[in-house]
């Protein structure tokens, strides 16, 4: 009623408004408003798509940095394992040295650390510190003086057995400060009064080569300590630009931040260092995304404005030109309506308006004929309206919800049940379940094995009502098969079972048996096997070979085995050419059809993005 009232108001407006207002209104409703609505939607959708695109790229780069950092630190940890357990290093640290030549002689043939330094580009240096009072700095071995022994990292290394990571600073020969990510660990000295600490420094240049990105800024820190790696040199030694909750075991952040007054996309994640309690925090920043999104959005807005304003200019000039000619025609027609036929043809052009003006005099002379034509036109219009109403009714009838069918079947079932005909009630109930399953699976990709088996069971019950004692059925489900957690293509088994009943049991009057077995089978890989076997008449070798061939090659002239062909092709299309249907049969011994699909895919199919689950 409200829609009808609004339409009436709209119609009244057009009836009262002049042509110029009508044309402007039509432009607003039919052109400007849709352009603004669609343009706004497209801009919002484009911004969202670009935002998600940049965030996905940023997240991927963050994961790349974490993966490379984990690879490097794990390699360094493995090197530290070899060095910390090396007997020669322990022997060198444990000895007492009274003169420098004696120490140099002990280290002259020791090249293990040199080999690691030379063969691993990620290592900047390997340093071994000891509190052995007779030690002197030589090669990679250093004496830890009293000042160093009081430093937090040295005390921590002595007092804990596990590895930890920390940034350290040093200066090059030109006095420039640089940062290194360092592995620090205690060298276990069971029979020595001295302590040894191993420090492996990762090359900052190597990290820049591996972790650096031309598109994104990257900042990496360990635990609560300052940044030890950054795409921006000035960020070394500073705090992370994101407030990190260090109390969380695995901190993650993905969002927007203003950094130095510039809106940026930021992605922060945590990396647990291999065999260590230390955690690295990787922060990836994109400071160009907002500008790119804004630029593209501005271009879209400009296009929409041009698309809206250009037609407005054209409509404006056309409206003035058109209404002037219409006004001239109206004045002439008004003159004729007052029986003044002395009109001057002042409408220029060769379009419909000029033709109408030229026909005006003829129209006056044939007014009665025109009245008849108008009456006939009204009849045609009424007939068209009637046909349109009939079409709308047909369209409405085609939109009957499938639930209407379910409710109708349920009503019939209840009436049969009330009348005492339980067999009919059961048949209707089974039919309703079967229809619901088929309709609900139209357009879906996968369903659970349990639902598919339930559908087959309902189908067998319906066929049992039809054929009586002609056959029985049995399900054999292996104990290791969890049917609620395995996923297969829907409507896969029923055509196979139908084939077993209609063709396998064709010559049997009683004693038929259909067995549905589900188990795991090993043929190079683990397969999910669904076997449908019958004790029917079976097939000859020629018939079997013909059937096997028919499910491999499509033949549009064939009317049989189409169901098996479709099932076989669906399985190959979804899982691969090596899977599908296997058929075995012997005359008088029945037929066995096995459906083979990869077991791992059946378990994992629910996690695929393209799966559409059944309600």
Which domains are delineated in the chain? 16-287 (3.30.450.20), 463-607 (3.30.565.10)
Run of H or E residues at 202: strand 196-202
Determine phi and psi for 105, rounding to 5 degrees: -65, -35
- pLDDT in the model for residue 397: 42
How sure is the predictor about 348, in pLDDT bands with cuts at 50, 70 and 90? low
Q: Which of 421, 452, 457 lies closest to 438 in space, CA to CA?
A: 452
* pLDDT, mean of residues 469-492: 89
Mean pLDDT confidence for 150-165: 91
User: Is 398 a residue whose pLDDT tops 60?
Assistant: no
413: number of Cβ within 10 Å = 21
Q: What are the pLDDT digits (tens) for 248-268?
A: 999 999 988 888 888 999 999
Q: Which one has a higher pLDDT value, 19 or 447?
A: 447
pLDDT value at 610 more than 60: no
262-272 and 253-259 beta bridge pairing: antiparallel
At 281, give phi and psi (nearest 5°).
-115, 115
The beta-carbon contacts of 456-465 under 8 Å, at least 24 apart in sequence, are 456/493, 456/494, 456/497, 456/516, 458/430, 458/433, 458/434, 459/434, 459/494, 459/497, 459/498, 460/497, 460/514, 461/426, 461/430, 462/427, 462/430, 462/431, 462/434, 463/501, 465/423, 465/426, 465/427, 465/430
Query: Under a CB-based contact definition with an 8 Å cutoff, are residues 296 and 318 in contact?
Result: no
Give the global pTM: 0.51
**What's residue 529's pLDDT?**
94
Tell me 226's DSSP state. Answer: P
- pLDDT surpassing 70 at residue 396: no
**Hey, which residues does 590 pair with through a beta bridge?**
586
Summary mean pLDDT of the chain: 80
Joined tokens for residue 246: 């260090």
Q: Work out the end-to-end distance of the chain between its first and last CA atoms, rounded to an integer number of angstroms.
A: 36
pLDDT in tens, 31-48: 888 888 998 899 899 999
pLDDT of residue 234: 86
Higher pLDDT, 173 or 474: 474
Distance in angstroms (rounded) separating the CA atoms of residues 121 and 65: 18
**Where is mean pLDDT largest: 199-203, 399-403, 437-441?**
199-203
Q: How many Å apart are CA 336 and CA 590, to the nearest integer?
A: 94
Q: Of 578, 582, 576, 577, which Cα lies nearest the Cα of 595?
A: 582
Exposure of 289 by Cβ count < 10 A (0-12 exposed, 13-18 middle, 19+ buried)?
buried
CB contact burial 293-318 (16+ within 10 A = b; e otherwise): beeeeeeeeeebeeebeebeeebeee
The CA distance from 184 to 144, in Å, is 14
Give yes or no for residue 606 having a pLDDT over 80. Answer: no
Q: Which residue has the higher pLDDT, 429 or 28?
A: 28
**The pairing of beta strand 123-130 with beta strand 141-143:** parallel
pLDDT reported for residue 407: 59
Q: Are 266 and 254 in contact (CB under 8 A)?
A: yes
Indicate whether 388 pLDDT > 60. Answer: no
- Cα-based distances in Å from 40 to 43, 53, 242, 299, 301: 5, 20, 33, 13, 9
Beta carbons of 267 and 62 less than 8 angstroms apart = yes
């Amino acid at each position: 009623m409200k829609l009808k009232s609004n339409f009436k108001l709209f119609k009244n407006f057009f009836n009262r408004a002049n042509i110029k207002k009508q044309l402007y209104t039509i432009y607003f409703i039919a052109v400007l408003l849709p352009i603004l609505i669609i343009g706004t939607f497209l801009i919002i959708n484009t911004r969202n798509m670009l935002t998600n695109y940049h965030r996905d790229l940023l997240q991927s780069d963050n994961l790349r940095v974490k993966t490379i950092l984990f690879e490097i630190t794990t390699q360094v940890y493995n090197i530290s394992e070899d060095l910390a357990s090396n007997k020669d290093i322990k022997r060198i640290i444990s000895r007492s040295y009274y003169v420098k030549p004696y120490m140099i002689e002990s280290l002259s043939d020791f090249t293990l650390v040199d080999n690691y330094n030379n063969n691993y580009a990620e290592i900047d240096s390997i340093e071994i510190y000891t509190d052995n009072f007779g030690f002197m700095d030589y090669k990679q071995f250093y004496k830890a003086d009293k000042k160093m022994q009081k430093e937090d990292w040295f005390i921590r290394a002595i007092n804990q057995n596990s590895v930890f990571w920390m940034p350290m600073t040093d200066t090059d020969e030109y006095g420039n400060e640089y940062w290194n990510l360092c592995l620090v660990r205690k060298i276990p000295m069971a029979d020595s009064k001295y302590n040894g600490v191993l420090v492996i420094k990762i090359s900052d240049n190597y990290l820049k080569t591996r972790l650096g990105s031309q598109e994104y800024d990257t900042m990496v820190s360990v635990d609560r300590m300052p940044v030890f790696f950054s795409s921006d040199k000035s960020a070394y030694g500073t705090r992370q630009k994101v407030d990190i909750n260090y109390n969380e075991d695995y901190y993650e952040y993905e969002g927007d931040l203003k950094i130095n007054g510039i809106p940026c996309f930021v992605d922060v994640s945590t990396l647990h260092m291999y065999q260590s309690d230390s955690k690295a925090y990787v922060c990836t920043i994109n400071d160009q995304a907002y500008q790119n999104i804004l630029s593209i959005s501005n271009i879209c807005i400009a296009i929409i404005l041009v698309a809206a304003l250009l037609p407005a200019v054209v409509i404006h000039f056309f409206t003035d030109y058109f209404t002037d000619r219409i006004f001239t025609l109206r004045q002439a027609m008004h003159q004729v309506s007052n029986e003044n036929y002395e009109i001057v043809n002042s409408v220029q052009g060769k379009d419909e308006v000029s033709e109408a003006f030229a026909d005006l005099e003829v129209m006056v002379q044939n007014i009665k004929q025109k009245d008849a034509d108008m009456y006939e036109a009204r009849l045609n219009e009424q007939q068209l309206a009637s046909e349109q109403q009939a079409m709308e009714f047909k369209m409405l009838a085609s939109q009957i919800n499938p639930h209407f069918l379910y409710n109708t079947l349920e009503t019939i079932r209840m009436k049969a049940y009330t009348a005492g005909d339980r067999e009919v009630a059961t048949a209707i109930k089974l039919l309703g379940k079967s229809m619901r399953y088929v309709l609900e699976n139209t357009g879906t990709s996968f369903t659970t094995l349990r639902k598919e088996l339930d559908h087959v069971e309902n189908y067998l019950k319906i066929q049992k009502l039809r054929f009586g004692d002609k056959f029985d059925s049995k399900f054999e489900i292996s104990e290791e098969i969890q049917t609620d957690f395995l996923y297969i293509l829907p409507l896969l088994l029923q055509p196979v079972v139908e084939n077993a009943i209609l063709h396998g049991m064709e010559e049997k009057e009683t004693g038929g048996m259909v067995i549905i077995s589900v188990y795991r089978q090993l043929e190079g890989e683990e397969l999910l096997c669904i076997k449908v076997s019958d004790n029917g008449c079976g097939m000859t070798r020629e018939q079997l070979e013909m059937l096997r061939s028919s499910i491999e090659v499509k033949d549009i002239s064939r009317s049989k085995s189409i169901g098996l062909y479709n099932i076989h092709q669906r399985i190959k299309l979804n899982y691969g050419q090596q899977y599908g249907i296997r058929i075995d049969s012997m005359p008088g011994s029945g037929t066995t059809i096995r459906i083979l699909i990869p077991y791992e895919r059946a378990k994992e199919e629910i996690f695929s993005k393209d799966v559409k689950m059944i309600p």
